[in-house]
Structure 1
Amino acid sequence: MSEVNTFNQRYPLLRCLLLYRYMPWGFTLTASLFLIVNLSLAGQQWLIGRAVHDVERHVAVVQLPNGVLDYHVALFWLLVLIGVALTRGVLQYLAGIMSLTIGQDLLFILRERILSQVQRLDLAYHWRHGVGEIVTRTTRDADKLRDALINFWRQVFETGVVVLAAVGIMCWYDIWLGLVPLLLTLGGILILVQQTNHLVTLDRAVGQAYDQVNQNLSEGVAGVRVIKAFALEPIRIESFSQQVQVFTTHARTALAYATSRIPLPQMVIALGHVWVLGYGAWLVSQGRLNLGELVAAVLIANTLILRIETIGRVMQVFADARSSAARLWDVLDAEPEILSGAEAVADTALGLSFDLVKVSAQGGGKAILQQCTFKVNPGEIVALVGQTGSGKSTLMSLLPRLMDADQGIVAIGNDQHGWQNIQHLDLSELRQRVHVVPQESFLFSDTLASNLRQSASDATDEELLEALRLASASEVLERLEHGLETRLGDRGVTLSGGQRQRICLARALLTRASILGLDDATSALDAATEQTILHNVRQYQQNNGHPITILIVSSKLSTVLMADRVIVLADGHIQAQGTHHQLKETSAAYRELMGI
């Protein structure tokens, strides 16, 4: 393992702090303000010691020969201390505002990176980790990290400055007066750090339990129709309650550990206060320290101990943040398995070519596709049929490289201008020219126009209406109260399954893709509507000279009859291919599949 990877794994929270480099001026200004505030605190206590010493020397208030009391020295110290306190208050306020601001800026940077990374990672990563885990890392883990970033100033930077200033002043008075509290403070901090390591482990268990809670909640919301259809509410509630109970148990364990371990380091650190008071009193009796210096040393020691003890109180925050930071960097450091090529997609009519393609199941096991070889010419409409589990959706996922083949070549192009291996092509260009519409019609909780423009952000209203016409969805638009500006609800809940499928088809047609894959994307449509859509697409090709190659996955005979050719997929193999009439005469498997 490289040194960089070791650093990334062992110090994830430090990596988050390094993000301050993106705001150097804000960081410098905030650090400077905190430096001044904490140095002035130690200076204020030193000034109090000087004032007390003047009182001890009977010079703060002096009786003049005429009997009048002279308060000049006392008033001087009073004004100085009030001025320092007011200045510190203003600077403390400004430093706090700056700290919160750059903490939120860092949180924004992290969340933006997470969202970008989640979109960049391929489907295999999402299948392995699930929605609940990704949502947890984006919300809970990011929030915990925000708390740590804000507390960084108050509990780490400020404490470091206070320790240096306090020990420096006490060592100036007497070397042992400051050295012993320093050693006790370092010992207490070391105990805190050692305890934090176990807290990180406990919080990882809390985070994993929270992932399960989030996953269950996400599935409960997304699958509410299925739950209600089968009257599963009591079972789902019981399952959710059990997962919440597991999460609560882990959270209580972590909290109990932190609470029970804090007193020990606090006691070690508090011994420094006892030492300053006892040893300082002895120095006063020996004439090596005046009363004002003793008062200042006690005040400084008290400030030091209280500040260090606050680290104990936020130990849980930093442990949580360290665990959360590690989980966030696990996402941010993940590399997509599918990498973009460098070649541009040829500006010509595109067909499909599969040459001995093989795809294995995740984690090994039986191959999903084996030795698949076929060709689809530009502008051709081909139906892909096969039993459930034969590998149709996997084959469709290969077209826009949502997944890659383990062996063989998937290519696009034509015989005249040549064929291009899709793994060598620019991924963004490929997905603009090759689009697959899945059976599950996903629509965003936004307006109809916004959903359609997901595939073509600069499309005009006229182009949106034309795409709806081609997808035989004009009547859907007529039923919507506000037309294109009608909000469709979460996942298009206000529409029927067939309406959602037609809108998704219209969105796909707006891409002006050269190859269009329909992965059972017309399953909710009747035969007449299907025929109208394919007729519209064919007519569009003829009128615009823009041939669209269409590969349709379907199990309906009405759909198959509208295709130019049919490919039969069985157990991952291309078992037969030809026209409907040819296969009806020559393929028993096709006849059985189509119910002929």
Structure 2
Amino acid sequence: MSKSYPLLRCLALYREMPWRFALTATLFAASNLSMAWQQWLLGRAIHDVELGKAVVAQADGSLDYSVALGWLAILVAVALGRGLIQYLGGLLALIIGQDLLFILRERIFAQVQHLDLAYHREHGVGGMVTRTTRDSDKLRDALVNFWRQVFETALLIIATVGMLCWYSPLLGLVPLVITLGGMAILVKQTDKLVTLDRAVGQAYDNVNQNLTEGVSGVRVIKAFGLEPSRVADFTTQVNQFAFHSRQALAYACSHIPLPQIIIALGHVWVLAYGAHLVGKGELNIGELVASVLLANTLVLRVEGIGRVMQVFADARASAARIWELLDARPTIVSGQHKLPDGELGVRLDKVSVHPAQKDKAILQQCDLNLRPGEIIALVGTTGSGKSTLLGLLPRLIEADEGLIQLGNDQQGWQDITQLDTENLRRRVHVVAQESFLFSDTLAANMRLAKPDASDEDILEALRLASADDVLLRLENGLDTRIGDRGITLSGGQRQRICLARALLGQASLLGLDDATSALDAATEQRIIDNIRQLKHSQGRSLSLLIVSSKLSTVLLADKVALLEQGRIVAVGTHQELAQHNSVYRELMGVSSGQ
């Protein structure tokens, strides 16, 4: 379906539940067709009253109510039947509306997890949250109202106009033209409402982003005494949201009444022209009453569309925002090949990464060879591209030029773009400096890397990361809930647990992006020594690429790679670089003799 109609694309989601959709549509069709039939029966009953057939005087002076009671029984039965059908149809509409809301949110969350980091950096957290909450709720409201205000109204128009035309063609066709004209004006006005609601949605994104940052960064805010300024900023964002919301509501309130007045003229026509037909003897009183009731029902139902036009306009804008997210395609496409078992090394050949503006490369023609089991420290000034280089290894970032290979000399080397990303990221793991832990138990956080890990496996990983002392301080051991983002732990404790989680996953290549910055030199050395001993204790070797600015970390590495302005300008041991490279000496604060 065309991407120009995002709301219709949402309606197409009803294909996920074809039987319930068909049953709901059938119930609403029966309800509205029986509405016209009910009005027709009422007209026939009134006509019998007009002719004196409903209540008949008997010869003995008594009254025969049999016909009137018969009509009463029929009308009550039809009303009860319609009521039951409407209840079931409305209930099913609500149920499938909620089911569609679940489907939308599930797809949005899956897409958010699937998209590249570059997309997340560009759009931020606020926009993602808004699409999952506010936009999805507005779509749910529209999908529920679709049955009552669109599908049911369309059926009612067909049944009503058909019945009026059966009485007299002009009696039905003129209200039809008037109704369609009024609805055309309503639809035309939705374009402006959609534009206004897009501004509301953007303002809501800003409020969400501000709120998310205010909660996540509460420590920084308190540390610098920023509470008044942050509250003032948030108030400004909320006022902007309120301003755009008022604009949208004001437009709806000032423009919707005109088409409603036009639609109401159909009721006037039916009454006037119907009276004319009665005068000519072409229509009886019962049929006139039925026609007026039909017209009244039609006008009230179509006017209801005007009252919910804001809902549909909001939903149209929300649907567009949701489909923009769902239609986004990851720039990193998974390959089909899997990495061989065993040790892994890395080869970088003329690798370059350019920013979106393409004006200056982040990495330029980088060459590096990390042998299996080797530890290389990657050093450089801030902004030299160290984190970007690490992000290339599990394909969190894509290289624009050059070749990245993983493997070993015995089993061969494979181009990283040909590898299955799920398999790649199980074997290649990067631990960031900003340690992220979920608000769950310690054991649950650890098992993210290996869901079937036993408690003994977790304890061994904690020991390797020198984090077993952290466990001793937790009241409930592995079952201790560690709070949002691990707020109950110190920075060094969080870093060691994140490192332990990576070691539990038994990756063959590990990148540490300043992931030991909060650790003391002795703890750091114990961790590196434990990793080196894996070859002897567990029969596996782990290759390490460590980003660090600490001399104590660099001294633990087999080799050092120096990054300068996006280029790897030197690779060697610490002693070699300290003796022959002035940039390295200045960066690490050492002399040529050290």
Q: Normalising to structure 2: TM-score of the pair?
A: 0.98
Q: Which amino acid aligns with 1:324?
A: S
Task: Spell out the pairing of 1:90-129 with structure 2 (5 A cutoff).
Answer: 90-129=84-123
User: Which of the numbers 6, 12, 15 marks the counterpart of 1:18?
Assistant: 12
User: How far did residue 365 of structure 1 move?
Assistant: 2.0
Secondary structure, counterpart of 1:367 in structure 2 = coil
Q: Which amino acid aligns with 1:499?
A: Q
Distance 1:91 1:268 in 2: 31
Q: Which amino acid aligns with 2:90?
A: G
Distance 2:545 2:349 in 1: 17
- Alignment match, 1:379: 373
User: How far did residue 552 of structure 1 move?
Assistant: 0.6
Secondary structure, counterpart of 1:411 in structure 2 = strand
Task: Spell out the pairing of 1:19-168 with structure 2 (5 A cutoff).
Answer: 19-168=13-162
User: How far did residue 369 of structure 1 move?
Assistant: 0.9
User: How far did residue 340 of structure 1 move?
Assistant: 0.5
Distance 1:419 1:469 in 2: 32
User: How far did residue 468 of structure 1 move?
Assistant: 0.9
More moved, 342-351 vs 275-284: 342-351
Distance 1:202 1:265 in 2: 20
Distance 2:523 2:453 in 1: 25
Tell me, yes or no, if structure 1 residue 395 matches structure 2 residue 359: no
Distance 1:307 1:54 in 2: 29
User: Which of the numbers 214, 230, 238 marks the counterpart of 1:220?
Assistant: 214
Distance 2:454 2:51 in 1: 87
Q: Which amino acid aligns with 2:158?
A: L
Distance 2:82 2:490 in 1: 64
Distance 1:181 1:12 in 2: 31
Distance 1:363 1:487 in 2: 43
Tell me if the contact between 2:534 and 2:542 (Cα under 8 Å) persists in the aligned partners: no
User: Which of the numbers 233, 240, 243 marks the counterpart of 1:239?
Assistant: 233
Secondary structure, counterpart of 1:517 in structure 2 = strand
Tell me if the contact between 2:384 and 2:563 (Cα under 8 Å) persists in the aligned partners: yes
Distance 1:477 1:348 in 2: 31
Distance 2:411 2:534 in 1: 23
Distance 2:177 2:251 in 1: 25
User: Which of the numbers 404, 407, 418 marks the counterpart of 1:410?
Assistant: 404
Task: Spell out the pairing of 1:135-534 with structure 2 (5 A cutoff).
Answer: 135-534=129-528
User: How far did residue 227 of structure 1 move?
Assistant: 0.7
Distance 1:38 1:461 in 2: 63
- Alignment match, 1:575: 569
User: Which of the numbers 546, 549, 559 marks the counterpart of 1:555?
Assistant: 549
Distance 2:475 2:342 in 1: 41
Distance 1:245 1:363 in 2: 34
Tell me if the contact between 2:14 and 2:100 (Cα under 8 Å) persists in the aligned partners: yes
User: How far did residue 348 of structure 1 move?
Assistant: 3.0
**How many residue pairs align between the two structures?**
590
Tell me if the contact between 2:449 and 2:502 (Cα under 8 Å) persists in the aligned partners: yes
Distance 2:355 2:146 in 1: 46
Tell me, yes or no, if structure 1 residue 592 matches structure 2 residue 586: yes
1:240-291: CA deviations, max 9, x gaps? 1111111111111111001101111011100000000011011111110000
Distance 2:136 2:67 in 1: 54
Identity of aligned residues (%): 67
Tell me if the contact between 2:374 and 2:543 (Cα under 8 Å) persists in the aligned partners: yes
Distance 2:121 2:584 in 1: 32
Q: Normalising to structure 1: TM-score of the pair?
A: 0.98
Tell me if the contact between 2:554 and 2:560 (Cα under 8 Å) persists in the aligned partners: yes
Secondary structure, counterpart of 2:561 in structure 1 = strand
Unmatched runs of 5 consecutive residues or more in structure 2: none
User: How far did residue 417 of structure 1 move?
Assistant: 2.6
Distance 1:550 1:302 in 2: 78
More moved, 65-74 vs 180-189: 65-74
User: How far did residue 362 of structure 1 move?
Assistant: 2.5
Distance 2:551 2:542 in 1: 22
Distance 1:372 1:275 in 2: 81
1:282-340: CA deviations, max 9, x gaps? 11111100000000000000000000000000000000000000000000000000101
User: How far did residue 383 of structure 1 move?
Assistant: 0.7
Distance 1:59 1:92 in 2: 33
Distance 2:156 2:354 in 1: 61
Distance 1:66 1:228 in 2: 96
1:474-533: CA deviations, max 9, x gaps? 111111111111111111111100010011001111111100000000001111111111
User: How far did residue 368 of structure 1 move?
Assistant: 1.1
Distance 1:295 1:416 in 2: 93
More moved, 344-353 vs 432-441: 344-353
User: How far did residue 214 of structure 1 move?
Assistant: 0.8
User: How far did residue 418 of structure 1 move?
Assistant: 2.1
User: How far did residue 92 of structure 1 move?
Assistant: 1.1
Tell me, yes or no, if structure 1 residue 542 matches structure 2 residue 542: no
Distance 1:297 1:269 in 2: 16
Distance 1:64 1:462 in 2: 98
Greater than 6 Å deviation, 4+ residue runs: none
User: How far did residue 209 of structure 1 move?
Assistant: 1.0
Secondary structure, counterpart of 1:458 in structure 2 = coil
